[in-house]
């Protein structure tokens, strides 16, 4: 790049920084007037500069920013590879689909094979199981941790079981000791949905590094954001190749975008019924997708990743402060971290005890009238949802707690954009309602 273009670029980026410093400046919080979001992005001038800087390259698909983002993220989590995709939902789809590849030999997942998951979860943890013709096996969750009941996990393993695919609910790691034990004993794949748990640890090891494949989401609500976006982590080079293939149209070629002949024999392959020498760049070994992210998204992700440790720290501080405010309030079942874990909480889950005479929907409507954001614990019992009522499945137990989650649970925000005064207002509003002090009940 010549000196004139370099100077012009630097001038543009300095203007962007000045604009961002003003447009993103914090605003005064006024209880009852200002919104208390349940989640949200936290952007600064560095993020805006990264977005514009990458766009000035004019390379609009995956490129140098994507490569650096993938490598840096894999190092952070502590796994071999990270493959950037266009959403966390796509990440889940690719992470499981990759394990259906015939190139995995006897361990290939085939239609009818069983995959264990939980009933109280998010649809995109379940959907890839169904979309790949696999059989979901549902277990119930514990109240408090909202993770799988251990005894039911053991009971769920049968002769057709080939994988476990579960999420770390709201950032709280599931029992990885037990899950890894089951996977080792029964030779199961582990697909670790860590979309809500970037920065969480189990026995000091970061989530996303345990699974044969694992996923993270970068939707604006999550720990860092690329707008839309996600990543598939993988440990084994053979699995990584299948992840990239399913992400990139199902192609057999593994050249990076913009590169040719990485293998050194582009016109020497003979695969399937194709003629000898058919261009390897246009040879397809899977029925795949195009789920790549863009360099602009990756540039934002790199900028956000530099602040991740701070974001995780703030989430933990906000969680601890809200817990302190709500501890001892009768009728509220507060969240519990899984033993051996240190969650980077995505949200603060609460279940209303059966003997608390409070209607969950009325409470949430009340909070919303006070401009306090609330959310359900995703789909509740997935098998009660219209989309899943008639799917083929196997169920362990009666899913009683999943029904409780569906009817009596919700969560509040702890994301880094919340201040102590916001959390105080949120806690006071909730306490006054459930105790009847504000007359709302």
Q: What is the structure's pLDDT at 238? A: 97
The residues pairing with 352 across neighbouring beta strands, listed in sequence order, are 332
Residue at which a domain ends, from 263, 297, 331? 297
Sorted by sequence, the CB contacts under 8 Å of residue 416 that are 6+ apart come out as 42, 310, 311, 314, 315, 318
One domain, residues 252 and 331: no
Tokens 């026995």, residue?
Answer: 203
Kindly state whether residue 221 falls inside one of the protein's structural domains: yes
What is the count of structural domains for the chain?
2
Range of the domain at 230: 53-297
One domain, residues 352 and 374: yes
One domain, residues 106 and 238: yes
Q: What is the structure's pLDDT at 259? A: 76
The residues pairing with 230 across neighbouring beta strands, listed in sequence order, are 85, 217
One domain, residues 249 and 325: no
Kindly state whether residue 375 falls inside one of the protein's structural domains: yes
Tokens 């009238």, residue?
Answer: 369
Q: Write down the number of H helices and E strands in the chain.
A: 13, 14
Kindly state whether residue 421 falls inside one of the protein's structural domains: yes
At 189, which CATH number?
Answer: 3.40.640.10
One domain, residues 206 and 72: yes
Kindly state whether residue 173 falls inside one of the protein's structural domains: yes
One domain, residues 66 and 201: yes
Alpha helices in 83-217 (DSSP H): 88-97, 123-131, 150-156, 176-186
pLDDT tens-digit series, residues 275-322: 999 989 898 999 999 999 999 999 999 999 999 999 999 999 999 999
Helix axis angle, 237-247 to 88-97, nearest 10° = 120
One domain, residues 328 and 234: no
Band the pLDDT of 268: cuts 50, 70, 90.
confident
One domain, residues 248 and 323: no
Contact 322, 412 (CB under 8 A): yes
Q: List the one residue out of 402, 407, 388 whose CA is nearest residue 141.
A: 402
Residue at which a domain ends, from 244, 262, 297? 297
Q: Tokens for 76?
A: 């952070």
Residue 186 a catalytic site member: no
At 320, which CATH number?
Answer: 3.90.1150.10
For residue 183, pLDDT beyond 60: yes
Question: Of 222, 223, 280, 366, which one is the catalytic site residue?
Answer: 222
pLDDT tens-digit series, residues 423-437: 999 999 999 999 987
pLDDT tens-digit series, residues 76-125: 999 999 999 999 999 999 999 999 999 999 999 999 999 999 999 999 99
User: Phi and psi for 125 in degrees, rounded to 5?
Assistant: -80, -35
One domain, residues 276 and 353: no
Kindly state whether residue 15 falls inside one of the protein's structural domains: no
Q: SS3 breakdown of the chain: % helix, strand, coil, rounded to 5? A: 40, 15, 45
One domain, residues 126 and 232: yes
For residue 153, pLDDT beyond 70: yes
Residue at which a domain ends, from 234, 262, 297? 297
Kindly state whether residue 29 falls inside one of the protein's structural domains: no
pLDDT tens-digit series, residues 192-226: 999 999 999 999 999 999 999 999 999 999 999 99
One domain, residues 323 and 280: no
Kindly state whether residue 177 falls inside one of the protein's structural domains: yes
Kindly state whether residue 303 falls inside one of the protein's structural domains: no
C-alpha of 130 from chain center: 19
Q: List the one residue out of 244, 227, 240, 355 whose CA is nearest residue 303.
A: 227
One domain, residues 347 and 409: yes
Q: List the one residue out of 216, 301, 288, 222 whose CA is nearest residue 253.
A: 288
Cα–Cα dist 218/141, whole Å = 25
Cα–Cα dist 50/152, whole Å = 47
pTM: 0.95
């Amino acid at each position: 790049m010549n000196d004139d273009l370099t100077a012009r670029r630097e001038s543009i980026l300095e203007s962007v920084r000045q604009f961002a410093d003003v447009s993103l400046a914090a605003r005064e919080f006024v209880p009852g007037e200002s919104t208390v979001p349940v989640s949200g992005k936290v952007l600064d001038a560095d993020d805006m500069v990264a977005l514009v800087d990458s766009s000035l390259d004019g390379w609009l698909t995956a490129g140098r920013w994507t490569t650096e983002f993938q490598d840096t993220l894999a190092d952070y989590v502590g796994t071999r590879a990270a493959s950037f995709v266009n959403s966390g939902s796509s990440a889940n789809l690719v992470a499981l689909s990759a394990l259906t590849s015939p190139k995995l030999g006897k361990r290939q997942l085939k239609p009818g094979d069983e995959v264990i998951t939980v009933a109280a979860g998010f649809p995109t943890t379940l959907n890839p199981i169904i979309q790949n013709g696999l059989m979901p096996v549902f277990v119930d969750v514990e109240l408090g941790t909202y993770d799988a009941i251990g005894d039911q996990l053991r009971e769920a393993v049968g002769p057709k079981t080939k994988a476990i695919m579960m999420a770390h609910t709201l950032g709280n790691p599931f029992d990885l000791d037990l899950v890894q034990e089951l996977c080792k004993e029964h030779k199961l794949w582990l697909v670790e949905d860590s979309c809500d748990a970037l920065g969480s640890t189990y026995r000091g090891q970061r989530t996303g590094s345990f699974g044969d494949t694992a996923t993270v989401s970068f939707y604006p609500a999550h720990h860092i954001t690329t707008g839309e976006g996600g990543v598939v982590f993988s440990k084994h080079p053979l699995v990584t190749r299948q992840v990239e293939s399913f992400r990139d149209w199902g192609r057999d070629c593994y050249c990076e975008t913009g590169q040719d002949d990485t293998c050194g024999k582009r016109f020497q392959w003979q695969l399937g019924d194709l003629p000898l020498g058919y261009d390897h760049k246009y040879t397809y070994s899977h029925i795949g997708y195009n789920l790549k992210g863009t360099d602009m998204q990756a540039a934002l992700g790199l900028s956000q990743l530099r602040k991740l440790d701070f974001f995780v720290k703030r989430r933990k501080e906000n969680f601890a402060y809200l817990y302190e405010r709500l501890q001892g309030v009768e009728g509220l079942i507060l969240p519990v971290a899984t033993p051996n874990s240190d969650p980077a909480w995505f949200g603060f889950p609460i279940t209303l005890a059966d003997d608390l005479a409070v209607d969950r929907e009325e409470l949430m409507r009340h909070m919303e009238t006070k401009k306090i954001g609330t959310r359900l614990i995703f789909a509740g019992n997935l098998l009660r949802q219209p989309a899943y009522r008639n799917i083929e499945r196997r169920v362990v137990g009666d899913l009683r707690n999943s029904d409780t989650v569906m009817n009596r649970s919700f969560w509040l925000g702890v994301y880094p954009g919340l201040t102590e005064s916001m959390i105080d207002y949120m806690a006071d509003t909730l306490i006054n309602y459930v105790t009847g002090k504000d007359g709302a009940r």
